[in-house]
């Protein structure tokens, strides 16, 4: 019995070591699920301007799919609800983080204007699509991204890069948006049809990135 237990334990340990060895780690932001980020970018590459110019509810569902999130508009907040994602000025960062950091909650208050009990872990696990890779996804708050380095939920609370950020653009009176990556490079853009998020929300979205690498 003890010998079998030891052998089983050794096999589990070896499998765990193999998984860790295969896991690509970002040295600057070690909370990033690198495999998941790459898979998200692959999906975003399929989002043509035409697809992103459908009615906004359909476009938003595409953004959730690309980011590895389920469309859970009827779930309770904290239990996987994603109805807020990309629908207001602030929840516009798509963050792919490893499982080890999902329970970080901004306890030290380093992310300004965010609760010290910002516990997102259970909702992340419920809403994340597993096929995109290890860890999970979430639409985190954008505020704080206009500093260098960014002091937002993704980079500070989760120590993760963003896969993309949605930014409404003033070029056409906030009718269009662009998706940019962690370095601010454009990934995609679209001009969705109504019903759009409230214009004040779209204007505020640009305001909090203005002057940063994401604008």
Q: Give the range among 1-15, 64-78, 148-162, 185-199 with minimum mean pLDDT.
A: 1-15
pLDDT at 119 (0 to 100): 59
Q: What is the DSSP letter of 200?
A: H
Q: What is the mean pLDDT of the chain?
A: 87
CA–CA gap between residue 94 and residue 41 (Å, rounded): 11
128: helix, strand or coil = strand
Residue 181 token pair: 């990556």
CA–CA gap between residue 189 and residue 166 (Å, rounded): 9
The H-assigned helical ranges of the chain are 2-22, 34-44, 56-67, 121-127, 199-207
Kindly report, residue by residue over 23-47, the tens digit of the pLDDT. Answer: 899 999 999 999 999 999 999 999 9
- Whether residue 7 is predicted with pLDDT greater than 60 in this model: the reply is no
CA–CA gap between residue 202 and residue 63 (Å, rounded): 16
pLDDT at 121 (0 to 100): 81
Determine phi and psi for 156, rounding to 5 degrees. Answer: -100, -50
């Amino acid at each position: 019995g003890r010998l079998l237990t030891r052998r089983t334990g050794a096999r589990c340990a070896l499998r765990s070591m193999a998984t860790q060895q295969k896991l690509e780690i970002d040295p600057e932001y070690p909370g990033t699920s690198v495999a998941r980020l790459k898979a998200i970018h692959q999906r975003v590459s399929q989002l043509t301007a035409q697809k992103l110019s459908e009615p906004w509810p359909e476009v938003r569902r595409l953004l959730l799919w690309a980011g590895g999130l389920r469309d859970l508009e009827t779930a309770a907040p904290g239990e996987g609800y994603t109805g807020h994602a990309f629908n207001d000025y602030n929840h516009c960062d798509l963050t792919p983080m490893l499982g080890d950091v999902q329970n970080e909650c901004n306890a030290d208050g380093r992310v300004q204007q965010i609760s010290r009990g910002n516990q997102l872990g259970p909702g992340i696990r419920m809403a994340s699509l597993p096929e995109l890779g290890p860890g999970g996804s979430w639409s985190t708050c954008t505020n704080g991204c206009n500093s260098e380095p960014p002091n937002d939920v993704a980079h500070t609370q989760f120590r993760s890069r963003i896969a993309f950020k949605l930014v409404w653009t003033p070029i056409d009176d906030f009718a269009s948006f662009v998706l940019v990556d962690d370095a601010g490079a454009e990934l995609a853009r679209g001009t969705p049809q109504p019903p759009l998020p409230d214009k004040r929300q779209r204007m505020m979205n640009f305001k909090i990135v203005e002057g940063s690498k994401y604008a």
